Amino acid sequence: MSDKSHDELEPLGLVDLTGPHRSALVPLPIASALPLAAVEPMPWRELRSAIVAAVAYGGKLMALFGHRAAGSDSPAGSAWPDLWAVVHLGARDQVCVGRARLTAPRFDSMTPELAQAHLFEREIAEQFSIDVLHHPWLKPVRYPPQPRPVVGAVAAGGVGSGAFYEIEGPGVHEVAVGPVHAGVIESGHFRFQCWGEHVHHLEIALGYQHRGVERALESGPAQRRVHLVETVAGDTTIGHATAYARVCEAVAGTVTSGHAEGVRALALELERMANHVGDLGALAGDVGYLPTQSFCGRLRGDFLNLSQQLCGSRFGRGLVVPGGVRVGAEPSLRRELLAKLDAAVADVDEAVNLLWESASVMARFDGTGVLTKLQARELGVVGPAARASGLERDARDAFPAGTAFAWRAHWEPVTERAGDVAARTHQRAREVEQSAATIRWLVAQDDAWQGPAAVPCGTLPPDHIAVGIVEGWRGEIVHVGITAPAGGGFCRYKIVDPSFHGWSGLALAMRGQAISDFPLCNKSFNLSYCGFDL
Amino acid sequence: MLNALRARLHQGHRTLQWPDVPAPVMPERYRGLLAFHPDKCSDACRLCADACPTDAIRPPTGPQGQGFQLDLGACLFCGACEAACPTGALHHTRDWRMAASDRAALHLTGQPLQLAGALDEKLRKLFGRSLKLRQVSAGGCNACEGDASVLTTIGFDIQRFGIDFVASPRHADGLLVTGPVTENMKLALQKTWDAVPAPKIVIAMGACAISGGPYAGHPEVHGGAESVVPVDLWLPGCPPHPLTVLDGLLRMLDRLPAARLKDVMR
């Protein structure tokens, strides 16, 4: 264990953000970049206090990652990475950046005070062979090949190995599922601690889809970058590509046209609708209600086909590029898409309403897999899962893109309260309606669709940091880019998919449930394996 | 209950009529099979090759497109080469038929593509009217999975051809592999393959499973399904259109009506 115990640390109280810790976090205006020199490194203890305080005051830890400084930014002989934190202070637009410099291959975990840091800290331990002292469950996250040794309490081997949380007692047994699942689903491993049907604990072990996306964005060929972000999570192509484009545009100082903003927003909502409608059908299928399953299975395709008509790909491939969009949408196309959309939305409405009036469906949905608002907030859960538990958290409201469309005058998040499968299903259905209303509103703003589809993005200047935030269909997508000392590319690129925190939410929601309800609970979150594994 | 019946009447019969009738036409912007016109290609130019994100293009070495080759198995169908080509020698068509039985057949030159042929008679007898597949997601992005599972919806209703996805490799006649085969999925893919009773087949779906796709060359991946299992059918695309998949499967099982084999698409 450590050579430094908790007793030596100052107690962590709530810190007034107007006080001395305020300076630990530097404001980062959305759609602009900061020179790295503007973010002074400080001792981890100070940054840690500032983050814990900011979250206590209603903020959220958006990203925490290691980066070994290079070039002019590096002190001579810096063997350990700087820890960079991106923190949302809670109010609209308020994002801050902080940086801590390590002087030894270890730091004190903030997870005991801040649960939402737990995976970030495990990730840093895995990527830099650093010990995170007092972390309650310091396991690897993705098991990259040729791993650096993970230090700390929990030993590691290859993917899926290492200790799992276990319980013992009469009648207690363990159920292991995956990595290959029974359906057409991505790969991952679930380990249930059960007593009969009753699930006491679920541990989710991923990493099977790890394919080195972040590393390739830092060192791979430039013309591949946009395709790598498009495939971070293939069902969220528009979401991730837009987050990446915003990072590039923020660093390069590029202003995209209203037309580009319109196309991106339209494509993002189509992506949301396709996925939500598909999941509504799958939720019906998981409780054996075939009418909605059948109708929605077909209708999901209708939304994918709208994306295909817009950009040539059912998954939005090849549309979003830094500087704008590869193809525009002239008024006639916008209206044609809207007409088809309206027809599909009416069919969805009919198909989904069957759920609410079927007692056998609602008996399975109601009260199943509850994630409380407090749990969602503490774990940093985002997206429909967080909103279904009552958290009013939506990047379309907090960080609307551009200025061509008056988002804030028009738009506010919808939420549910119960946090169960029924609430998450309602949430999806209401978000489909909201997306349709958003698209109608977008298409009606003819005056806002000005300018070219794309402008040149310009070159990326060296030694800057910028953030791109997009509300993908699963929730808030955060990309953080640090540009290389030579410029033109990134020396660190951090992706936080909404699933990163969501999986922990699913694990908690399964506690006390029947194991037979797992497929239903899982589908109600429908998280991404590949977006987590990167 | 009455509402469910009313909805059923209103939603109607929505299954794709193809292959009984000619194929649906794709929208104008759909990026399907690439067409190469050697007569328009200049050997002084390598703009398409430079623009390609996956190095799928070998630029011409002589006049009239001599030596030019585009690997459809590595192609992401992103449109970058078409946009870069100054003479229109390379462009996307709206043809979604591009499944092949041989890896080499995916190397596009100026010649017509050799589309997938039928399995040998023994396998066709076994699988022609009932093919059960176990899908293994070996590290992709979930887009191939999305458009594989769409085949089981009423829109495509792949079960009408006796094809379906099953939950266990023990019940399967073969594998549908997606993803570049990450190091972390290699063992699971091998074990799943071993658990399928022989005779058995493998279908590689998407650029990742064929060549590694956008992850080709990453130390975390193995460059496609064939690094672990022998492949019988290659389905290009990123992801392949569901029709590309269905067309490939029906060709492999010799289930396409003769009229469909003569269809021409542009």
Cα B196–B200–B204 angle (5° rounding)?
95
Average pLDDT estimate for B34-58: 93
Question: Where does residue B171 rank: exposed (0-12), middle (13-18), buried (19+ CB within 10 A)?
Answer: middle
B191 SS3 class = helix
| Contact yes or no for A376/A505 (Cβ under 8 A) | yes
Question: Where does residue A253 rank: exposed (0-12), middle (13-18), buried (19+ CB within 10 A)?
Answer: middle
Q: What string of DSSP letters covers B115-143?
A: ---PPPHHHHHHHTT-EEEEEEE-S--SH
Q: Which fold has domain A213-533?
A: Cytochrome-c3 Hydrogenase; chain B (1.10.645)
- 8 Å CB contact of A210 and B182: yes
**What's the pLDDT at A101?**
92
Tokens 């002989």, residue? A77
CA dist A378 and A34 (Å) reads 29
CA dihedral A121, A127, A133, A135 (to 10 degrees): 40
| Contact yes or no for B88/B40 (Cβ under 8 A) | yes
Q: What string of DSSP letters covers A194-212?
A: EETTEEEEEEEE--TT---
Tokens 């410029």, residue? A487
Question: Which residue(s) pair with A35 in the sheet?
Answer: A464
Question: CA-nearest residue of chain A to B76?
Answer: A227
| Contact yes or no for B214/B54 (Cβ under 8 A) | yes
Q: What is the ipTM of this complex?
A: 0.95
Enumerate residues 238 to 257 of chain B having a beta carbon within 8 A of any beta carbon in chain A.
Answer: 238-239, 241
What domains sit in chain B, N to C, each tagged with a CATH number?
A: 34-96 (3.30.70.3270), 121-261 (3.40.50.12280)
β-bridge pairing B233-235 and B174-178: unpaired
Cα A359–A360–A363 angle (5° rounding)?
80
Enumerate residues 354 to 413 of chain A having a beta carbon within 8 A of any beta carbon in chain B.
Answer: 354, 357-358
**What's the pLDDT at A5?**
38
Domain range A6-133, its CATH number among 3.30.460, 3.30.200, 3.40.50, 1.10.150: 3.30.460
- 8 Å CB contact of A308 and B27: yes
CA dist A294 and A359 (Å) reads 19
The pLDDT averaged over each successive group of 10 residues in chain A (534 residues) is 36 44 80 92 93 91 90 60 93 89 92 96 90 91 73 62 87 92 92 95 95 93 94 97 96 95 97 97 96 95 97 96 96 96 96 96 96 96 97 90 84 94 97 96 94 94 95 97 92 97 97 95 96 96
pLDDT in tens, B58-85: 999 988 889 999 999 999 999 999 999 9
How close are the terminal C-alpha atoms of chain A, in Å? 30
- 8 Å CB contact of A529 and B192: no
Same fold flag, A6-133 and A213-533:
no
Region for residue B202 given its phi and psi (left: phi exceeds 0; alpha: psi -120 to 50; beta: otherwise): beta
CA dist B138 and B145 (Å) reads 11
For chain A, give every domain's residue range: 6-133, 213-533
Tokens of residue A389, six digits: 């538990």
CA dist A443 and A262 (Å) reads 8
Respond yes or no on whether the N-terminal peptide bond of residue B239 is cis (omega within 30° of 0).
yes
B248 SS3 class = helix
Across B70-101, b (16+ Cβ under 10 Å) vs e yields bbbbbbbbbbbbbebbeeebbbbbbbbbbbbb
pLDDT band at B1 (very low <50, low <70, confident <90, very high): confident
**What's the pLDDT at A77?**
52
Does the beta carbon of B148 lie under 8 angstroms from any beta carbon of chain A?
yes
DSSP state at residue B112 = P
CA dist A207 and A186 (Å) reads 11
Contacts of B183 in chain A (CB under 8 A): 145
Does the beta carbon of A425 lie under 8 angstroms from any beta carbon of chain B?
no
Tokens of residue B89, six digits: 């020698």
Enumerate residues 180 to 239 of chain B having a beta carbon within 8 A of any beta carbon in chain A.
Answer: 180, 182-185, 188, 192, 213-215, 218-221, 238-239
Q: How far is B257 from chain A (nearest CA, A)?
A: 25
Does the beta carbon of A336 lie under 8 angstroms from any beta carbon of chain B?
no
Tokens 């509300």, residue? A471
Contacts of B221 in chain A (CB under 8 A): 211-212
| Contact yes or no for A50/A64 (Cβ under 8 A) | no
**What's the pLDDT at A149?**
59
Mean pLDDT of chain B: 94
Region for residue A404 given its phi and psi (left: phi exceeds 0; alpha: psi -120 to 50; beta: otherwise): alpha
DSSP state at residue B241 = P
Tokens 């949302």, residue? A88
How many CB atoms are located within 10 Å of the residue A496 CB? Answer: 28
**What's the pLDDT at A160?**
75
Cα A394–A399–A400 angle (5° rounding)?
100
| Contact yes or no for A300/A277 (Cβ under 8 A) | yes
Q: What string of DSSP letters covers A284-336?
A: HHHTT-HHHHHHHHHHHHHHHHHHHHHHS-TT-TTTEETTEESS---HHHHHH
Enumerate residues 252 to 281 of chain A having a beta carbon within 8 A of any beta carbon in chain B.
Answer: 278
Question: Which residue(s) pair with A201 in the sheet?
Answer: A193
Closest CA relative to residue A32, chosen from A74, A93, A99, A117:
A93
AA identity, residue A480: V
Nearest by CB to residue B137, choosing from A185, A297, A318, is A185
Q: Does B219 score more than 80 pLDDT? A: yes
Contacts of B4 in chain A (CB under 8 A): 291, 354, 358
